[in-house]
């Protein structure tokens, strides 16, 4: 599984960070920052869930 | 709630005030069962699309062809009266009413203030605020106590003081005026409180412009100076937006959350037994009550095919977050309050680029309040039968006017 984050679309809701903090972070300006773009098996399901929760469709699975 | 909407295609008269305090109006369900998107007639005249399916609601709210600009002709303004609309038209637009690049330019500079990390640093301060009001509650020499006045309103007001950097000596002033603004007092009293607060905030921002401070506005001022665009009026408006968007909403959700838990003792027992369940309980209470229904209204700026209907440019679209949050296609047994549901895809904070800026602050406040209240006053109970509670059944933001409790 590979995750992509489009920082231009991100609106800083923090939904992804709440859902899977092992994969998603926010920089000081509140914009999404990926901690890894290859979530391990343990994080995969939650990372997938975060993609569906993102309100600005900034996250996608490649 | 969404007063004055009548079903047209559906041929329904919608009694859209919440009848049962714990459920959407029955007509919502009938409309949703007919179609995820219906045409309805507005009491104010004209028609609008009524979006009640969860999937369709999300689809509309992420689609940039729908505008949030309430000043545009044809915007379905059923929740605003003429006076508010005029006020809205006479003032510079807030991010809430902006679209596209303009919205992004207004929101982006502020989102760093609301990151999960930055808010975590605020947690001890919020805990101290909550503890202080519960100390006062426990010391009260009279019961029952109205929880709305004693806890629900003051906690978010003081949290906004923290956010705006209101000095401690002004907290009492700030809290009394913010409470006055949302009380069932005369319009004149509310106007005066509004004017006093506006003047206060204007002065506060002016002071922060001359003395650098390490808080939200201090940082906004520094950022704007760096870019060479200090916008005093814009900062005052931003402060007011945070106050009006974040105070009454959180207060109402505190009151309703307490009512929801007290009337579902088996659910309350679950979070008392394990406070790790509280964050999910908060999500469920947000879904269950969806206090800001219909604020997610939009105007189509182009023709759009969605959910089997063709919406034409210039037509109004009312996204009912409440109906979407009770859509059985998205939430199993939606009528059950189930703190273990574990569902975060509700639309209580909206969806799309305008999704609530303060959502993670609100979440934290609610978690701290529920945990602390039921830990410190485990015998808390309603002092009147639930049917006697005065709910804000016809207000834009749902809540309770009063909440007499005892223990
Ligand atoms: C339980 C409490 C709250 C609820 C239910 C709530 C609900 C909402 C909803 C539904 C929207 C979206 C409106 C739209 O799509 O047009 C919104 C936007 C907003 N909220 Fe909240 N809110 C709450 C608390 C707060 C707090 C505590 C703050 C800040 C201190 C806040 C600040 C904002 C702002 C600034 C916006 C506009 C965002 C934008 O337009 O980009 N809210 N809120
Ligand atoms: S959920 Fe989406 S909008 Fe929110 S912070 Fe993550 S990437 Fe950004």
Domain holding A36: CATH number?
3.30.70.20
pLDDT at residue B13 in the model = 40
What is d(CA B8, CA B19) in angstroms, rounded to the nearest whole number?
Answer: 21
Closest protein CA for atom 39 of ligand 1: B354
Confidence grade of residue B62 (pLDDT, cut at 50, 70, 90): very high
Confidence grade of residue B378 (pLDDT, cut at 50, 70, 90): very high
Range of the domain at B34: 7-92+100-406
Residue B187, token pair as written in the block? 């319009």
Range of the domain at A50: 3-61
Range of weakest confidence among B7-11, B200-204, B272-276, B319-323:
B7-11
In this prediction, what percent of chain B has a pLDDT beyond 70?
Answer: 93
Buried b (16+ CB within 10 A) or exposed e, B185-218: eeeeebeebbebbbebbeebbeebbeeeeebbbe
Query: Does pLDDT of B259 surpass 50?
Result: yes
User: What are the CA-CA distances from residue B319 to residues A43, B200, B222, B297, B347 (Å)?
Assistant: 33, 36, 38, 6, 10
* In a domain? residue B199: yes
Q: Which ipTM value was assigned to this complex?
A: 0.96
Mean predicted confidence (pLDDT) in B80-103: 80
* In a domain? residue B277: yes
Q: Tell whether B105 lies on the interface with A, counting CB pairs under 8 A.
A: no
What is d(CA A33, CA A30) in angstroms, rounded to the nearest whole number?
Answer: 9
Q: Which ranges of chain A have pLDDT less than 70?
A: none
Range of weakest confidence among B21-35, B127-141, B192-206, B260-274:
B21-35
pLDDT at residue B265 in the model = 97
Task: Name which residue leads in pLDDT, B121 or B79.
Answer: B121
pLDDT at residue B2 in the model = 42
Range of weakest confidence among B1-10, B21-30, B307-316:
B1-10
pLDDT at residue B92 in the model = 76
pLDDT at residue B5 in the model = 52
Residue B296, token pair as written in the block? 């997610």
Residue B386, token pair as written in the block? 């639930």
* In a domain? residue B293: yes
Mean predicted confidence (pLDDT) in B237-246: 92
Task: Name which residue leads in pLDDT, B16 or B216.
Answer: B216
Residues of A in Cβ contact (< 8 Å) with B112 = 12, 26-30
* In a domain? residue B172: yes
* In a domain? residue B1: no
Give percent helix, percent strand, percent coil of chain A, each to the nearest 5: 30, 20, 50
Query: Would you give the DSSP letter of residue A35?
Result: S
Backbone angles phi, psi at A49, to 5 degrees: -60, -40
Ligand 2 centroid from CA B121, angstroms: 20
Domain count, chain A: 1
Q: Tell whether A41 lies on the interface with B, counting CB pairs under 8 A.
A: no
Ligand 1 centroid from CA B231, angstroms: 23
pLDDT at residue B74 in the model = 86
What is d(CA B60, CA B56) in angstroms, rounded to the nearest whole number?
Answer: 6
Residue B268: count other Cβ atoms within 10 Å of its Cβ: 20
Query: Does pLDDT of B267 surpass 80?
Result: yes
Closest protein CA for atom 4 of ligand 2: A13
Query: Does pLDDT of B180 surpass 90?
Result: no
pLDDT at residue B339 in the model = 97
Residues of B in Cβ contact (< 8 Å) with A17 = 115-116
Residues of A in Cβ contact (< 8 Å) with B113 = 30
Question: Could you tell which of B70, B238, B319, B358 is best to mutate to test the pocket of ligand 1, judged by most ligand atoms within 8 Å of the CB?
Answer: B358
Domain count, chain B: 1
In this prediction, what percent of chain B has a pLDDT beyond 90?
Answer: 71
Question: Could you tell which of A10, A21, A33 is best to mutate to test the pocket of ligand 2, judged by most ligand atoms within 8 Å of the CB?
Answer: A10
Mean predicted confidence (pLDDT) in B81-104: 81
The CATH number of whichever domain residue B290 belongs to comes to 1.10.630.10
Average pLDDT, chain B: 90
Ligand 1 centroid from CA B349, angstroms: 6
């Amino acid at each position: 599984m590979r995750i992509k984050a489009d920082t231009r679309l991100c609106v800083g809701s923090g939904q992804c960070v709440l859902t899977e903090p092992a994969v998603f972070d926010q920089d000081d300006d509140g914009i999404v920052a990926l901690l890894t773009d290859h979530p391990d098996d343990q994080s995969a399901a939650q990372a997938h869930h975060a993609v569906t929760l993102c309100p600005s469709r900034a996250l996608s699975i490649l | 709630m969404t007063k004055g909407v009548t079903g047209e295609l559906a041929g329904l008269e919608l009694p859209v005030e919440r009848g049962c305090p714990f459920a959407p109006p029955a007509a919502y369900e009938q409309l949703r069962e007919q179609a995820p998107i219906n045409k309805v007639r507005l009491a104010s005249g004209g028609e609008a699309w009524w979006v009640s399916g969860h999937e369709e609601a999300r689809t509309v709210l992420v689609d940039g062809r729908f505008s949030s600009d309430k000043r545009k002709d044809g915007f379905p303004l059923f929740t605003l009266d003429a006076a508010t609309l005029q006020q809205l038209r006479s003032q510079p637009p807030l991010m809430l009413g902006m679209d596209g690049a303009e919205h992004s330019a207004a929101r982006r500079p502020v989102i760093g203030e609301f990151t999960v990390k930055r808010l975590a640093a605020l947690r001890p301060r919020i805990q101290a605020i909550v503890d202080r009001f519960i100390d006062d509650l426990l010391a009260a020499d009279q019961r029952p106590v109205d929880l709305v006045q004693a806890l629900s309103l003051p906690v978010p007001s003081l949290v906004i003081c923290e956010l705006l950097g209101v000095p401690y000596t002004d907290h009492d002033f700030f809290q009394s005026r913010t409470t006055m603004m949302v009380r069932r007092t005369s319009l004149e009293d509310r106007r005066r409180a509004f004017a006093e607060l506006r003047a206060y905030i204007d002065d506060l921002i002016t002071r922060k412009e001359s003395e650098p401070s390490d808080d939200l506005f201090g940082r906004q001022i520094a950022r704007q100076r760096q870019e060479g665009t200090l916008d005093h009026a814009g900062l005052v408006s931003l402060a007011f937006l945070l106050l009006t968007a974040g105070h009454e909403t959180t207060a109402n959700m505190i009151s309703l959350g307490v009512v929801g838990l007290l009337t579902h003792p088996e659910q309350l027992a679950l979070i008392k037994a394990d406070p790790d369940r509280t964050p999910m309980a908060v999500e469920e209470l947000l879904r269950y009550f969806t206090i800001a229904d219909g604020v997610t209204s939009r105007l189509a700026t182009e023709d759009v095919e969605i959910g089997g209907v063709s919406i034409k440019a210039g037509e109004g679209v009312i996204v009912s977050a409440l109906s979407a949050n009770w859509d059985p296609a998205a939430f199993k047994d939606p009528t059950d309050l189930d703190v273990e549901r574990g569902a975060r895809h509700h639309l209580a904070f909206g969806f799309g680029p305008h999704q609530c800026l303060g959502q993670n602050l609100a979440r934290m406040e609610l978690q701290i309040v529920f945990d602390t209240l039921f830990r410190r006053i485990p015998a808390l109970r309603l002092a009147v039968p639930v049917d006697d509670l005065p709910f804000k059944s016809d207000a834009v933001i749902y809540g309770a006017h009063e909440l007499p409790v005892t223990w």
